[in-house]
Amino acid sequence: MQELDARTNDLSYEIIGAAIEVHRVLGPGLLESIYESALCVELEHRQIPYECQKEVSVLYKNQHVGVNRLDLLVADRVIVELKAVERLEPVHSAQLMTYMKITNKRLGLLINFNVRILKDGIKRIIL
**Tens-of-pLDDT digits for all 127 residues of the chain?**
567 889 999 999 999 999 999 999 999 999 999 999 999 999 999 999 999 999 999 999 999 999 999 999 999 999 999 999 999 999 999 999 999 999 999 999 999 999 999 999 999 999 9
- Measured between alpha carbons, how far is 18 from 34 in angstroms, rounded to an integer? 14
Question: Roughly how many angstroms between the first and final C-alpha of the chain, as a whole number?
Answer: 8
Nearest in space to 79 (alpha carbons), one of 117, 50, 40, 119: 50
